[in-house]
């Protein structure tokens, strides 16, 4: 980090933004294998929040790589940097008074823990989107598992690169055995029960 930079405090505080928006701000971090339903769930939850007049935004793994992280590949180092950057962006959204929903494989526990540590205890919810590798391969919405099996994609999470399941996520959502609507209801119920919304 350069010694020639100075942090400038905002003239509007996070608490003032939350007051204006009428709700708490926090991160819902969806993690899981490709094809598990992270993006689908994040967008469905965001839709429910929008209907309830809550300010929210979805940061999607693929979408982010079209812009902010287009210079990153899929090596372990680049994956870590991908999540580090997203963590910092998510923190900015929380400071803006918004609910941010992130849909990233984020395969490494250490990286997810680092993001959690950027935020306060009541600003981070880790949701493990649980779905077996067999079911994810059956879905294979982008055809990536087939490419990985054919050797066209190297270091693909779940095939030839690791995925470290969370030890103690706030929620485990089973998209293999529950519908998207049922999963969304579980998340909304959790947010209400724990006074996030």
Q: Does the annotation place 25 within a ligand binding site?
A: no
Confidence of residue 1 (pLDDT cuts 50, 70, 90): low
With cut-offs at 50, 70 and 90, classify the pLDDT of residue 20. very high
Q: Report pTM.
A: 0.92
- Is 11 part of the annotated catalytic residue set? no
Q: What does the radius of gyration of the chain's CA atoms come to, in whole angstroms?
A: 17
Decide if 31 contacts 115 (C-beta within 8 A). no
10 annotated as a binding-site residue: no
* Residue 43: predicted pLDDT: 97
Per the annotation, does 138 bind a ligand? no
Is residue 39 a known part of a binding site? Answer: yes
Q: Which two tokens stand for residue 102?
A: 């992130």
CB 60 within 8 A of CB 166: no
What is the fold, at CATH topology level, of the domain defined by 14-193? Rossmann fold (3.40.50)
pLDDT per residue as tens digits for the range 33-52? 999 999 999 999 999 999 99
Beta bridge partners of 100: 27, 57
Please pick, among 25, 56, 98, 106, the residue that the annotation labels catalytic.
Answer: 106
91-123 residue pLDDT tens: 999 999 999 999 999 999 999 999 999 999 999
């Amino acid at each position: 980090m350069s010694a020639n930079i100075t942090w400038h405090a905002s003239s509007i505080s996070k608490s003032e933004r939350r007051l204006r928006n009428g709700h708490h701000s926090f991160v819902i971090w969806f993690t899981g294998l490709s094809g598990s339903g992270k993006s689908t769930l994040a967008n469905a939850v965001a839709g429910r929040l929008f209907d309830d007049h809550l300010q929210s935004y979805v940061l999607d793994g693929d979408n982010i790589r079209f812009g902010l992280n287009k210079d990153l590949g899929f090596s372990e180092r680049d994956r870590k940097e991908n999540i580090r950057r997203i963590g910092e962006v998510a923190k900015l959204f929380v400071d803006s008074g918004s609910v941010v929903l992130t849909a990233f494989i984020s395969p490494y526990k250490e990286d997810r823990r680092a993001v959690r540590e950027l935020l306060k205890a009541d600003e981070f919810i880790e949701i493990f989107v649980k779905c077996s590798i067999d079911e994810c391969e059956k879905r294979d919405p982008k055809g990536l598992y087939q490419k990985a099996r054919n050797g066209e994609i190297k270091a693909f999470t779940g095939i030839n690169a690791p995925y470290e399941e969370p030890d103690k996520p706030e929620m485990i959502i089973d998209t293999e055995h529950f519908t998207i609507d049922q999963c969304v209801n579980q998340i909304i119920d959790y947010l209400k029960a724990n006074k996030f919304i």
